Each structure stands twice: as C-alpha cells, then as structure tokens.
A = this chain, B = another copy of it.
Amino acid sequence: MSFLDRFAEYPIFDPAGYVPLRGDGTEVGYFKPDFAERLRAFPQVFVVDGGAVGLHPGLDGHDARSAAVAEVVADLRAEGFFPHWRNELFPVAGSFSAPPVFSIERGAVPTFGVRAYGVHLNGYVRKDAGLFMWVARRSPHKDLDPGKLDQIVAGGQPVGLSLRDNLIKECAEEASIPAELAAKAVGVSAVSYAIERPEGLRRDVEFVFDLEMPADFIPSNDDGEVEGFDLLSIERVAELARDTDAFKFNCSLVVIDFLIRHGVIEPDHPDYLSLVAALRR
C-alpha cells in the first residue's frame, strides 16, 4: 500500500461524462445526463439543451434563482432524491471569490456537481517524543462515512461567514476548543479533488489550518457526531493514511498534506512530486 492509493479510492471526475450547468458565463456545476434530462420537467427554472443546462433568463438575481431552484429541489426530494439532507445553504459560483449565482441546499451539491468548500483543522501536539496529532472517530450513526477517522475539526463552508470565523465556530461545536485557542490556528494550505462518490460528484476545496495545541488540552464533543478523539504519534497517523483506508477519503488527503509540509514525507520519497500534484487537482 502507498500514499498514492488514497487518491485512487474513487474515480476521478471526467467532464466528458457530464452535462455542464452554466451560470454567470461559466460552468458552475455538472449533471449526470439522466438527471439533466429529468430537469426538463421544470422549464420555468432550467433551460436544458443537448449540451448544457442553464437557468431560465427570466430569473433575475441571486434570491429569485435560489428560491426557484429550492422549489425544484424540494419536489425532487419528495421523489426520493437527496437522501443526505443537511438544512444548510451552499453558494454556487464560478470561483470561491466570485459572487454566487444562486445558493442551494448542501444535500443537493453532489447531484448538481457544484464546487463545495470546507475548513479542516490539523490539531497537533509537540512532545519530547516527537509530533502527535489529534484524530476524531466519526460516530457510527453518521450519514456519510460512519466510523471513519477525521481531523479533530472539519466542516463545510456556508454562505456569509469568513473562513476563519467558520473555523472558530466549528472548533467550538465539534471539539469544544475555546475561541482563544482556535484563533491561534494558522491557515497553511488548500487541498482540492474532483471525484465520483456514491452520493454524487465531489468537487471540493478544503482550506487547511494547523493548530499547535497545549499538551494538557483534551478535546470533547457534545453534538454526537464524534465518538471520541485519539492522540496518535505522527508515525501512526502516517501508517494509517498509507496502509489503510481508516481515514475518511478527504481527511486522508489533508493528513498527507500535513505529512509533506512537516517533512514526515521527505522530498527524496519516490512519490513526492506525484503526491504534491495530486493534492491540488
């Protein structure tokens, strides 16, 4: 087994097999062809031609478009689509800093093939014996990836919050990290991938933060999403990411990024350049 195996767990997204969703002059999402056909039932919202899907030009502005799309999404949900409902709005845009064309329920993001953004925190501890990392075990009752290993804190990036403010909020909710400590997190990297998963297309960008934590801080979780936390040596973390699929797929990439930035995976490693390239697809 090798670190590169973590990038091969799911098929890489190939736009050739998808129908693009156009908005604001650019491609903001990708549908499977049969789902694009399904959208022909909503001609007042979606304009479907053979090669692409657009929003009806009569829908003016972010709010009108979001409301119209929300109705379609609700209709389809009643038919059984979008089982992983989240009650959270995600922006749909050509890039992270572009104004969103519309916003959409997070549970519909993989079906719409929309780029999603998140924040992931590496909580690490420096001891005399070396580097250690806090790892979360996801609850066995989680909807997606139950029981997998995760970063100490990770969350989606919703509308209307800075990345740093979102991180501080997630730190409190997921691991009871006080704001004063969370504020010391350092934004260090971004990891991106575009893959096909059971829930649909995942075209995600994860903003990565590192936080050196005091040796006496013990994380705890109250919302039932995390079964527990373990403080593992960095060698054990590396082993788990290299030799097993114990980590949730995207969390293993964030771990590999950490191992590279902290010199645990060294430049003389034969896969070094392949790993550096694969982390930003």
Contacts and interface: CB of A to CB of B under 8 A. Distances in A.
A24 to B, nearest CB: 17
Contact of A263 (B162, B188, B271, B276): B188
B95 A273 contact: yes
A164 B96 contact: no
A280 to B, nearest CB: 6
B96 A273 contact: yes
A267 interface: yes
B97 A260 contact: no
A267 B165 CA distance: 12
Main secondary structure of the interface of A (DSSP, over half): mixed
Given A188-B261, A188-B262, A273-B190, A267 B97 contact: no
A160 to B, nearest CB: 13
| Most chain B C-beta atoms within 10 Å of own C-beta, residue among A205, A261, A267, A272 | A267
B95 A267 contact: no
A276 B280 contact: yes
B261 A189 contact: yes
A169 to B, nearest CB: 14
Interface in A188-202: 188-190
A88 interface: no
A163 B190 CA distance: 25
Contacts of A46: none
A277 B280 contact: yes
Interface string A255-281: 000001111001110111100110010
A268 B189 contact: no
Contacts of A209: 267
A276 B188 CA distance: 10
9 contacts: A162-B268, A163-B268, A164-B268, A186-B262, A187-B267, A188-B260, A188-B261, A188-B263, A190-B273
Given A164-B266, A164-B267, 14 more contacts: A96-B273, A97-B270, A97-B271, A97-B273, A162-B268, A163-B268, A187-B263, A187-B266, A188-B261, A190-B267, A190-B272, A190-B273, A190-B276, A205-B273
Interface of A: 95-97, 162-164, 186-190, 205, 207, 209, 260-263, 266-268, 270-273, 276-277, 280
